[in-house]
Structure 1
Amino acid sequence: MNKWIKITRPVNGLMGFFSIYIVGFIAVNLHIAEFIIPLTLGAISVFLVTAGGNIINDISDVETDKYNHPDRPLPSGTITKKAASYLAISFFIIAFIVSTFISIFISVVVVIAELLLVSYEFKTKKIGLPGNLTVSLLIGMIFLYGGFITGTISKMLLLFLLAFFSNMSREIMKDIEDINGDVDRVTFPKKYGIGMAKIVSAIFVVITISVSVLPYYFHVLSIYYLYAVVLDDLLFAITIWYLKANISRGEKVSKVAMIYGMVCFLIGGI
């Protein structure tokens, strides 16, 4: 793969790109064709912001990547940090320009996402819970972004909260799993102990399960969502048990539950 493409990690960007169309369908269902141009512009901006964020991640982790990922463009020396910085900045600027064709308000949302990405890589990633909060906000912002584009922000707010709470649980699980390897980070389990981290992770799971019925209750999603989310709630509940039994497996089950949660949203959008 070309080094300039490789440094952007295009698979991540494409996932963000197509997620905007998924959110658009959830938001307006069969009326999605009416929003195809702003959704496409939004998808392009998400791809560019994600690519820029991936490059900044490589810049931030260049020293550790010399051991963990020596084949990446920066640690291998095929791309300089200066060139990578220019590329990331260019992606962020182009993403902002593209978003202005949707609306100025949407472009403000893009800038906020970019600032969150930069703050995560150079500050909050190393100080535990604020880093978890930042990542979870960015995950949930996909729904807010799609809601702003389609004018259905009130509808998307509950889905944002579900994505946020479920990802908070998973982020803490990942920190527990990586506690021995995170030598340069003061993560939540490092600061407050694994026992407390497991409790907080479980609390976020319970909150996720508790509010999962609300999209149906408030007529955001159909009865089909309610049928489908029962299995998703069961998967999240299983992660609580794995917090004691096998944290690595619990983190993987949580990831499956989050992916299936998006399927539930799609089913409920019908």
Structure 2
Amino acid sequence: MGYLLILRPLNCLITAVSVVVGAWIGLPRIFNLQLLIGMIIGFFTCGFGNVLNDIYDIEIDSINAPHRPLPKGLVKKTYVILEAIGLAVISLILAILLSPRAFILVLIALILLLLYAGLLKKCWPANLVVALLTGFSFLLGGIVNNNVAALFPFAFSVLIHMPREIIKDLIDEAGDRAQGVITCAARIGSQRARILASIYLGMLVLILPLPFIFQTLNWRYMIVILVIAFPPIIYSIMRIMRQSAIPDLRVSSRILKFIMVAGLIAMII
């Protein structure tokens, strides 16, 4: 059971569903073998990243998250390493079955996950890497279905995760400084980090209508965006720009997660 839990299967399932969103956005919804393979690749690639993080963070997790499978002793590190290798190899083999583009995309994602876990997590580019990786599944779906419109959810994902990662940096700023972690907030300062997060959200406001303007999505999408997404985005910008306390920043992070879910729902209704 521990070898399944270490994958964080819920996160992997969300990644698999995101592949479907990238494949279906603006097109007839056809479920075929290629899409199923894409979903499995998304699930396994996400699992690889989660397992890899737990391998590198085992000492930190023994203090901060002792309930996780590795520090709790539910799994053996040697077998977990083999599990990560297996997930990566299977993902690459399945990607070859899809297309050369899919193989290249999956290979890049696996390399970024490896670099993030081993090197970049404590450096300021970590936020960008995380944001790009969250959009990986949409691009994979687009490749599976030859759907250029997958660029919309990819851009949406990047622009919603960048400010959220910055907010998480602001929340953890004191602890990160103590551990020598050079986050975006630590590098440019708290106020500039808030401004940068707000700029990303402003860019998100500008791109959200584009699928409707280009007639990729219909009026139902635009109604959901106008009613459910725009108000909390504007509200989030206002909260972030205030000198908010950490509890307020946590609320802003949760609001951005809600916006992310609302945006994805709008793209598939």
TM-score, normalised by the number of residues in structure 2:
0.92
Q: Which residue of 1 aligns with 2:266?
A: 264
Deviations 1:14-65 (A, max 9, x none): 22122222333324233x13xx111100001111111111110101111110
Q: Secondary structure at the match of 1:28?
A: coil
Deviations 1:50-84 (A, max 9, x none): 11111101011111100111122221234333321
> Is 2:167 the counterpart of 1:173?
yes
> Is 2:31 the counterpart of 1:29?
no
Q: Which residue of 1 aligns with 2:84?
A: 88
Deviations 1:123-166 (A, max 9, x none): 221112x111111111112221111110112x122321122112
* 2:95 maps to which of 82, 96, 99: 99
Which contiguous aligned blocks of 4+ residues in structure 1 show a shift greater than 3 angstroms? none
Contact 1:27 1:147 in 2 (8 A): no
Greater CA drift, 239-248 or 48-57: 239-248
* 1:59 maps to which of 51, 55, 62: 55
TM-score, normalised by the number of residues in structure 1:
0.92
Contact 1:125 1:131 in 2 (8 A): yes
Contact 2:23 2:147 in 1 (8 A): no
Looking at structure 2, the residues matched to 139 and 13 of structure 1 have their Cα atoms a distance apart, in angstroms, of 11
Contact 1:58 1:74 in 2 (8 A): yes
Identity %: 30
Inter-CA distance 122–71: structure 2 relative to 1 (3 Å threshold) = same
- Equivalence map 1:21-170=2 (5 Å): 21-30=20-29, 32-33=30-31, 36-128=32-124, 130-153=125-148, 155-170=149-164
Q: Which residue of 2 aligns with 1:239?
A: 236
Two-structure CA RMSD over aligned residues (Å) = 1.5
Q: Which residue of 1 aligns with 2:18?
A: 19
The count of corresponding residues between Structure 1 and Structure 2 is 261
Looking at structure 1, the residues matched to 207 and 26 of structure 2 have their Cα atoms a distance apart, in angstroms, of 19
* 1:197 maps to which of 175, 193, 199: 193
Looking at structure 2, the residues matched to 41 and 169 of structure 1 have their Cα atoms a distance apart, in angstroms, of 32
Looking at structure 2, the residues matched to 23 and 178 of structure 1 have their Cα atoms a distance apart, in angstroms, of 32
Deviations 1:85-133 (A, max 9, x none): 11101110011111222112211111111111111111221112x1111
Q: Secondary structure at the match of 1:101?
A: helix
Greater CA drift, 38-47 or 11-20: 11-20
